[in-house]
């Protein structure tokens, strides 16, 4: 994280946004590990979905109150952090593509909030599925916008630091995230048809979330 007093707006706001995302990443990881620790049975990391950690009952039917509450609180905090990011974008319209980034931040915040709803809730399980899709899809889209827009802005402003390595790296990360996103939703759709590939779905879900978090670390503060 960075000291804000040394910088002037809008860079100070961009660093604040970057810090909020870093805090969200820490909270998200802590939430996962705590939920796994209090899961009433051994959590099968490569075959169980993250949704299982936040359900009323575990995969084997055990009561899962503590882990469920951890997911609700953790995801709730993440949603508030993302809401703060969206507010910063909408109040600082001098930031590049503030409207696109603000809307995507709201989508991700909404997704995380709905994703906290237990997947086995008798009435609200549909919101959980919508939330999971909005969270993963919106987060990937946000990352892609950051990667691509940073290169476009540098070239538009004719900045000297633009080089082929920067361009190739930004495009590469964007393509990786987009391919992971397409792969995840493809496997998710096939899994709905009971093709017996739920394990791949669970693995892809975790890979793309952690890839999205990792991609944020490669973004320059002034490109947020």
pLDDT per position as a tens digit, 147-171: 777 777 666 665 555 556 666 776 7
Q: What is the pLDDT of residue 5?
A: 55
Q: Flag residues of the chain having pLDDT under 70.
A: 1-9, 153-167, 170, 188-199
Q: What is the pLDDT of residue 94?
A: 85
* Contact of 89 with 95, CB cutoff 8 Å: yes
* Residues in CB range of 222: below 8 A, 6 or more apart: 11, 14
Q: Compute the distance between CA of residue 111 and CA of residue 51 in angstroms, rounded to an integer.
A: 13
Q: Considering the chain, what is the average pLDDT of its residues? A: 83
* Contact of 114 with 87, CB cutoff 8 Å: no
pTM of the model: 0.83
* Contact of 222 with 162, CB cutoff 8 Å: no
> ∠ at Cα 70 (65, 72), nearest 5°?
95
Residue 45 Cα distances to 20, 82, 87, 180, 207, angstroms: 27, 26, 35, 19, 11
* Contact of 110 with 131, CB cutoff 8 Å: yes
Q: What is the pLDDT of residues 43-65, one digit of tens each?
A: 998 888 888 999 999 989 899 99
Q: What is the pLDDT of residue 2?
A: 47
Q: What is the pLDDT of residue 161?
A: 53
Q: What is the pLDDT of residue 65?
A: 95
């Amino acid at each position: 994280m960075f000291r804000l007093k040394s910088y002037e707006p809008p860079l100070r706001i961009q660093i604040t946004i970057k810090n909020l995302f870093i805090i969200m990443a820490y909270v998200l990881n802590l939430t996962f590990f705590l939920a796994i620790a209090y899961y009433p049975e051994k959590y099968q990391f490569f075959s169980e979905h993250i949704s299982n950690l936040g359900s009323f009952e575990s995969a084997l039917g055990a009561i899962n109150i503590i882990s469920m509450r951890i997911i609700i609180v953790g995801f709730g905090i993440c949603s508030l952090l993302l809401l703060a990011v969206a507010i910063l974008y909408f109040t600082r319209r001098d930031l590049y593509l503030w409207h696109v980034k603000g809307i995507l931040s709201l989508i991700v915040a909404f997704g995380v909030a709905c994703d906290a709803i237990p997947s086995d809730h008798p009435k609200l399980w549909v919101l959980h599925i919508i939330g999971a899709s909005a969270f993963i899809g919106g987060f990937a889209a946000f990352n892609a916008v950051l990667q691509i827009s940073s290169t476009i802005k540098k070239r538009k402003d004719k900045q000297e630091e633009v080089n082929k390595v920067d361009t190739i790296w930004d495009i590469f990360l964007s393509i990786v995230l987009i391919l992971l996103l397409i792969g995840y939703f493809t496997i998710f759709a096939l899994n709905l048809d009971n093709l017996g590939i739920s394990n791949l779905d669970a693995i892809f879900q975790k890979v793309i979330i952690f890839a999205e978090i990792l991609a944020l670390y490669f973004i320059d503060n002034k490109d947020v």
